[in-house]
Amino acid sequence: MDESYKFVSASGGSGGVVQYNDNIEFLHNYTYKVRAYYNSQYQSDWSDTFTVMALLAQSSYPRMSAYNTNCKIVRGYDGKIHIIYYDGIYVRYSFSTDNGTTFSPWETVCPSDTIPAIALDNSGTPWIINATHYWPNQNTCALEYYLYHRTSQGGWQGSYDEVYRKELTGSYPNAPALLHPPSFVIAGDSGYVCFIEPKESNCLVSSFPLATSLYYNLRFLGTNSITYHPVISYDKAGRLVVIDITWDGMMLYYRAIGSSTWYGISISTVYPLGSPALWTGQNELRITLEGQDNSPPYESGLFFLRIPWQNNTYNVNQPIELISANTDYSGDGIEGYSYLAGPDVVLWKYNDDIWYAQRQGGEWITLGNLSQSGGVSSYPQGIVFGSFLRQKLFALWTEDPEIIIILCVR
């Protein structure tokens, strides 16, 4: 700690609050302590230290906060923020009880062979989905997705049974690469995981009760999925929703909670060029993705699509909105770089920086560049919370790619 002292006059604030403005350097953490001082003779003891955090965690893994289809950050009804990241070997977890000002020490949850996802149940308990492989014998490779939850004592408990399992016979030296990153949502007392079937092109949904031995029910939603990652969410009106990208375009699948029947609708207004981000309200879906307008003037860029529930179905015949023509779409048909932090706030990657925009009066207004680091910033995620007049954006992303950073914009 820099022990050089800074003095702030009692007149440097108002309402009993004294403010001190410091010059800080990007991606550094700053720890402070304070003491009261009077007339060169009287002074209090030093306060406890407190840290203002910018750099949150370090790893050499280049996709610590990926992807936009599997959540890394959630906020409970109690205001607690939960975050995870993947370092290429283990899933790591931390939480904040002060709106992201400070975070708990990182906990190691479990090993994983793919990028994990997090969700909260109705009690605010975090649950995490991971995937691993092992060899029951020399000719069989088992690929499995497992569920973990945080106990009331603070540790992590894994499920006794897998929520998905597939066995492959033969030599598979690249077995971990066959495990696609899962998208995960909790609705009521059940969990739902969506992913591309290993070694196939099928979009799968595995459903399972959270509180029992987790015997899962598997459903094939569609075939011809390409290398995009599907995303699953929960419409608060009581429906599961999946967005999948196929060779024919973008598909929306849905079913009511309590029903076993899935319905599929093609979304043809925009041709997808990156994996979609999905936000769900009540009887309403909102999607952002890199793509191309399927009607003149055939613009390319980052698009927004609002899909309402009308006449007992989702009305996908809605006009699309261009958020920005400036994106960093990679062209590999996998990675989407946008994330809906709320119904009207989007984060995305452009020119190796993280930008954000807000929808105001039916138009998208770019509010600024969050990162401005000079390095490569990617895979943003975030949440919007607070009152209507004092909203806060909490954002995280992978930087450079050796760190994951956190920024709170007021």
DSSP 8-state symbol, 178: G
DSSP 8-state symbol, 79: -
In the structure encoding, which two tokens stand for residue 296, read together?
């003149």
Q: In 3-state terms, what secondary structure has residue 126?
A: strand
Q: What are phi and psi of 356, to 5 degrees?
A: -140, 150
Domain range annotation of the chain:
57-409
* Cα distance between residue 101 and residue 56, in whole Å: 11
Along the 410 residues of the chain, how does pLDDT read in single tens digits? Answer: 455 666 666 555 555 566 666 655 555 556 778 777 776 667 788 887 766 556 788 888 989 999 999 999 999 999 999 999 999 999 999 999 988 878 999 999 999 999 999 999 999 999 999 999 999 998 999 999 999 999 988 899 998 788 999 999 988 888 888 999 999 999 999 999 999 998 888 899 999 988 765 667 888 887 666 667 899 999 999 999 999 988 878 999 999 999 999 999 999 999 888 889 999 999 999 999 999 998 888 899 999 999 999 999 999 999 999 999 999 876 555 578 899 999 999 999 999 999 999 999 989 999 999 887 778 889 999 999 987 677 889 999 998 766 666 665 54
How many Å separate Cα 130 from the centre of its chain? 15
Find all residues with CB under 8 Å of 217, minimum gap 6, and list them: 206, 207, 208
In the structure encoding, which two tokens stand for residue 84, read together?
């995870």
* Cα distance between residue 395 and residue 375, in whole Å: 17
- Report the CATH fold assignment for 57-409: Methylamine Dehydrogenase; Chain H (2.130.10)
Q: Kindly list the distances between the CA atom of residue 87 and the CA atoms of 65, 111, 382, in Å, as whole numbers in the listed order.
A: 10, 10, 19
**Smallest Cα–Cα separation from 404: which of 2, 80, 22, 94?**
94
pTM of the full predicted structure? 0.86
